[in-house]
Structure 1
Amino acid sequence: MFATIPEAEKPRLTVAASSQSLSAEDHKNTEDTGMARRWTRWMHKQGLRHRVVSLVILFAALVKWCIGLGSYSGQGTPPMFGDYEAQRHWMELTIHLPIREWYTYDLKYWGLDYPPLTAYISWLCGIIGAWVDPSWFALDHSRGIETPASKIYMRATVLACDTLIYVPAIVFFVQSWQGNRSSKTQQVALLTLLLQPGLLLIDFGHFQYNTVMLGLTLTSVSCFAAGHDLLGAVAFVMSLGFKQMALYYAPAIGSYLLAKCLSLGARQGAQLFFQLAATTVATFALLFLPWLPPFAPLSAMLEPIGRIFPFQRGLFEDKVANFWCASNVVLKWRIWMNAPALIKLSAGLTAAGFLPAVVVMLYCGYRLGVASQTAQDLKEIPKPTSRPAPVLPLLPYALLTSSMSFFLFSFQVHEKTILVPLLPLTLLLSGASNNSFSFKLGALVNNVAVFSMWHLLKRDGLALQYLALLILWNRIIGHNPLRIRQKSLMDYLSITVYGICILLHVLETIVPPPSHLPDIYPVLNVLLSTPVFGITWLWSIKRTVEVSWGLGGLGSSSKAISMPPLPGADGLLPNGNPVKLTTPEGVTSSLGLSVGERAAGLRTRSLGHVQGKKSSLRSGSVSTEFD
């Protein structure tokens, strides 16, 4: 629905002359790169196009299982072991103890500190595992168990959760956000997303279940794109109920839904707002039901809440590529500021970091609602609440801004948390052309994110998986980190960063750290990775403003798009008339397009958000600048 103009309606796209523009032949040559694109093209030529998706999913599952053949977090390191043992221990305590004891039992040994949905899924996995072999989950007696059979079962639970939740969410996303693109492009995007290296190394190597949280969030985003806001709200609350890190997305999700309420006007907007509020509260209540009256006193809610938000841990525990660890090299935050002050400072910086995305989203929703109000009132056409908000193109950027702000500035961040902002960034990359800024930045940040987790993966014994998966993923997407295509600033930045990464790996291999600086290599890793993540955060804010301006949500009223915000998929208004509007440049168009930004003369690519800048319609063609 939100991808590109349907083939029957698609005008010829003429790329405006600019330093980043590509000729048709250059663009074709660019698209020819990458193992994924070449393989899907070959499959289509062989008449096997209907087998591609299933083979992509099977290939991704094989790669995930191969990663799982290696070691995992805490293997052979008593007495606490690592994340693998924490997840196994939660399975045993949930199947042996009453629910009220889940968050209070032996907190010194991997006390449960994730929201209730994690506990429920741990209980289910524990029940099945205990049925196979009770010794795997014998309370207190199976601590640190590392038998081959128990490892196979634990690895299988991660793959099963991924297959049941994350993989369908990716397929749903590609079909809903890129539905008007060619099947080959959708299949390439699917393979790009399913083999995201950082996520695979952490979940299937280090050992976690992040794909459950990310899959539920992605499902909510796809529901919003389909106009199913209440289902999307339920899916996002479920994501929050599985892992508290989903809060990184909450400002973006919340501002999108509020912006839609604003765009609908007072009566319909208020109705949708109360429906969303009731749905959200009801879903949270179901998740926390065992700790609520009449099953428990209201004070029992403090048990899970106190464990889910552990402010007592301190600002950071390890070397993480965020603002606090990088600046701590000079400022030594924990020496001259106490924990309560640091909590307040980190909260303030985090809020300031995501505030631009929230403000732009809300203001754009309000402006577009006002711009369309006159047309709706004159024709007495009710605004369709079952359609996405006109600010939907802003959502991927808002998700990136919000999550990256939390990663850079919030309290007690782990290096694995970079997976949260990587999701929206990889979604943006998945359908972009190889020479676009979005693609280059997405590839750079994915690679640097894996590099930033190097010392964690090295401790886990995953060096081989680290190198192999980076090479595989870059080959599949058609990205050569050591090749400069256009001699742009982004190319030079990438080659410099990659060169330093390689140099640090070589030095760490052949030069031991000095005795007075034992953490020199982790610190240098942080100092290299943090600026890359900071640039990405600033870029997401810039793109949010640009896309909002292109949609008509910023600027003067005379330049706002004057149109009903969302006509039908056939390009017609409810009264059967085609869309006729005035673009920001004052050019009238009646292309009969299915979303407001397309009809306004804006080129959309991949996610259905505006990837280019404002364009003009002339002689039946669209002139667009690449980002």
Structure 2
Amino acid sequence: MGRKSDPDRFSVTKDGLFPGILFALFVRLCVAAYPYSGYKSPPMYGDFEAQRHWQEITVHTPALFWYHNTTQNDLQYWGLDYPPLTAYHSYLMGLVADWIDPESVRLFASRGYEDEVHKLFMRLTVFISDIYFYVSAVLCICIDMERVKPKLVKNVFKRCDIGVILLLLYPGLILIDHGHFQYNCVSLGLFMWATFFIIAIENHMLATTCFVLALNYKQMELYHSLPFFIYLLRSCFNDVHQKWKLYTFINQFNKLTVVVVSCFIIIWFPLVSSWKDINQIIFRLFPLKRGVFEDKVSNVWCFANVFIKLKEIYTNEQMAKICLSATALAGSLSCIDLFFRCNKQKFVLSLINVSLAFFLFSFQVHEKTILLVAIPVALHLPDDPFMCFWFLLVSNFSMLPLLIRDGLIVPFVATTLIYMMFFSISIKIANPSSGVFAMFSAFKVYSSVKPNKLKNSMFLNLLSLNFLFSCLGMVGLTLGAMFIKPLPKFPDLWPLLISVYSCSHFILFFLYFNYQQLLIPKAPQAKPKLN
């Protein structure tokens, strides 16, 4: 596609690239040394036990019954509620676990199994999955970011080594996957690969394949589905003056459709023999019985529930319809803008805006799903470092009640300080005269990105002041949640305050990122590769 690159420029920063990756991996291993979700907490334990139990079920029961309630598979005890690729992943890990330590996946007898060897095995499965899916995608995206038109790139945040370490050291993903214990790195890694194939390679077939795989690993990837659908649909249109416009559109659209349908058939075929099986899997993936929310989560419904008890007024079915309508309305502006004024920068911003609309307004949101917003924000960080960094701090803070419950407060504080330190180092590289606290100055940050475009610093100084007070509020709430015991009549005081505080930030960020997307004019769109 005529993309300019300069290997010599990449050689300037590659010396710091691999030490940065090794450090990020070392941080993951340190966090993994701390407790996990459900550690020594019978009878249900937590997410660690859920992942272990899925290995037990997939290894010892036929695939057709993985999502069905049977005498061997009690769905009330951590029944599978993620799509088929998660089940296949559990099955492969279960085979290895059965070979290493059969007791760890023995049917019924292994519930609550917490042997040290098995815990090490489970931690390593997350670590290896992270490297293969997420770390590899981050590396490719950041290398491409620096090598494209390097003479025009003055932004220090687009340096490969800095970009990689700021993406890999985001505390939220490390704490949830390597601390709390999940495999978000797989679905988010596949999402990152799909994004890479769009913004770098421009191969829409591979992008579609990777995104369908991500969606079939975790259904929460629906948060990103609308921007992908709209961008890929727009890629089917060619120049309006082209003679065979309709034929080309149909041909390209059919190719993408074949990819999507083929992937779904291949992935779902081993698990279904009738429509009843399909309905059962869908029922497991989207349970309405859990209600609009469970724990205190930083979205609009939990915020509103402080004043209006939604669960007492509306049924689950009514709330689901309200949530669906609100989510569609909140994400519509970004989707319409992306469709009519499509380009790659708008695509990344639309990923942020639509996923944030889902987080704020959709049904049955977990605190961990803020990661689906945070990763697109991290991708946008080189273009808007101050606001994206602020969002990433708040997103990590919003999960604090969960991390305290898991005994991960030390890793939370440590990884947050490390992330802030590396962000400050990045600013120092861009502005050698910057002080230690330069990250609190929006003017200092933006001067390293757009040095010739800043004329009025009053707004940026006000923004810096707001950021400072925001950070002080997060510090105060963190200390309160750690050391001040709430009154017996308000047992959820600190989780509620944290969720309300975070939600107020997310609403403002939602308005801000939508405004930023609308500000970007439509750029000439390069003709996509059709293979």
The answer to whether the superposition gives a TM-score over 0.5 is yes
C-alpha displacement of 1:354: 1.1
The answer as to 2:325 corresponding to 1:316 is no
Q: How does 1:128-277 map to 2 (within 5 A)?
A: 128-180=96-148, 181=150, 185-225=159-199, 226-264=201-239, 265-277=245-257
Deviations 1:453-497 (A, max 9, x none): 111000100010000000001101217598345453321221111
Name the structure 1 match of 2:279: 302
The answer as to 2:412 corresponding to 1:412 is no
C-alpha displacement of 1:521: 1.2
C-alpha displacement of 1:511: 3.2
C-alpha displacement of 1:128: 0.9
Deviations 1:329-370 (A, max 9, x none): 0111111111111110000011111111211111124xxxxx
**Bigger Cα displacement from structure 2, 193-202 vs 330-339:** 330-339
Q: Is the 8 A contact 1:401 1:541 kept in 2?
A: yes
Q: How does 1:335-484 map to 2 (within 5 A)?
A: 335-365=312-342, 391-429=343-381, 431-432=382-383, 438-478=384-424, 480=437, 483-484=440-441
Q: How does 1:48-87 map to 2 (within 5 A)?
A: 50-87=14-51
Q: Is the 8 A contact 1:201 1:466 kept in 2?
A: yes
Q: Partner letter of residue 283 of structure 1?
A: C
Give the 3-state SS of the residue equivalent to 1:262 in structure 2: coil
Aligned partner of 2:486 among 475, 495, 513: 513
The answer as to 2:85 corresponding to 1:127 is no
Q: Is the 8 A contact 1:73 1:83 kept in 2?
A: yes
CA distance in 2, matches of 1:178, 1:50: 11
Deviations 1:532-563 (A, max 9, x none): 1111211221122111x253xxxxxxxxx6xx
Q: Partner letter of residue 53 of structure 1?
A: L
Describe the shift of the 1:515–1:119 C-alpha distance in structure 2 as closer, same or farther (beyond 3 A): same
C-alpha displacement of 1:56: 2.4
Deviations 1:57-76 (A, max 9, x none): 22221110110000000001
Q: Is the 8 A contact 2:194 2:207 kept in 1?
A: yes
CA distance in 1, matches of 2:479, 2:372: 29
Q: Partner letter of residue 76 of structure 2?
A: K
Q: Partner letter of residue 154 of structure 1?
A: M
TM-score, reference length from structure 2: 0.87
CA distance in 2, matches of 1:474, 1:456: 21
Give the 3-state SS of the residue equivalent to 2:307 in structure 1: helix
Describe the shift of the 1:158–1:244 C-alpha distance in structure 2 as closer, same or farther (beyond 3 A): same
Name the structure 2 match of 1:530: 503
Describe the shift of the 1:402–1:568 C-alpha distance in structure 2 as closer, same or farther (beyond 3 A): closer
CA distance in 2, matches of 1:171, 1:413: 30
Describe the shift of the 1:509–1:230 C-alpha distance in structure 2 as closer, same or farther (beyond 3 A): closer
Deviations 1:146-204 (A, max 9, x none): 11111100000000111111111111222334432479811110111111110000000
CA distance in 1, matches of 2:115, 2:400: 27
The answer as to 2:526 corresponding to 1:566 is yes
Structure with greater contact order relative to length (CA < 8 Å, sep ≥ 6): 1
Q: Is the 8 A contact 2:356 2:373 kept in 1?
A: yes
Q: Is the 8 A contact 2:440 2:467 kept in 1?
A: no
How many pairs were matched up?
A: 485
Describe the shift of the 1:489–1:550 C-alpha distance in structure 2 as closer, same or farther (beyond 3 A): farther
Deviations 1:43-89 (A, max 9, x none): 95xxxx54433332222211101100000000010000000000010
CA distance in 2, matches of 1:307, 1:287: 17
Give the 3-state SS of the residue equivalent to 2:467 in structure 1: helix
Bigger Rg over Cα: 1
Describe the shift of the 1:298–1:510 C-alpha distance in structure 2 as closer, same or farther (beyond 3 A): closer
C-alpha displacement of 1:413: 0.3
C-alpha displacement of 1:2: 10
Name the structure 1 match of 2:303: 326
Q: Partner letter of residue 144 of structure 1?
A: G
Q: Partner letter of residue 402 of structure 1?
A: V
- RMSD, aligned CA: 2.4
Give the 3-state SS of the residue equivalent to 1:174 in structure 2: helix
Structure 1 gap segments, 5+ residues each: 9-39, 366-390, 433-437, 552-560, 570-627
Structure 2 gap segments, 5+ residues each: 240-244, 428-436, 444-459
Q: Is the 8 A contact 1:2 1:177 kept in 2?
A: no
Deviations 1:547-593 (A, max 9, x none): 1x253xxxxxxxxx6xxx43799xxxxxxxxxxxxxxxxxxxxxxxx
Describe the shift of the 1:280–1:190 C-alpha distance in structure 2 as closer, same or farther (beyond 3 A): same
Deviations 1:14-50 (A, max 9, x none): xxxxxxxxxxxxxxxxxxxxxxxxxx99x95xxxx54
Q: Partner letter of residue 65 of structure 2?
A: E
CA distance in 1, matches of 2:392, 2:15: 28
CA distance in 1, matches of 2:146, 2:253: 28
Name the structure 1 match of 2:432: none
Q: Partner letter of residue 170 of structure 1?
A: V
Give the 3-state SS of the residue equivalent to 2:159 in structure 1: helix
Describe the shift of the 1:550–1:274 C-alpha distance in structure 2 as closer, same or farther (beyond 3 A): closer
CA distance in 1, matches of 2:286, 2:62: 22
Q: Is the 8 A contact 1:291 1:298 kept in 2?
A: no
Percent of aligned pairs with the same amino acid: 33
Q: Is the 8 A contact 1:357 1:401 kept in 2?
A: yes
CA distance in 1, matches of 2:353, 2:14: 37
Q: Partner letter of residue 176 of structure 1?
A: D
CA distance in 2, matches of 1:234, 1:468: 37
Q: How does 1:282-297 map to 2 (within 5 A)?
A: 282-292=262-272, 296-297=273-274
CA distance in 1, matches of 2:439, 2:305: 32
Runs of 4+ in 1 over 4 A off after TM superposition: 5-8, 479-482
Deviations 1:261-303 (A, max 9, x none): 23454222221111101110110111101234xxx12322122
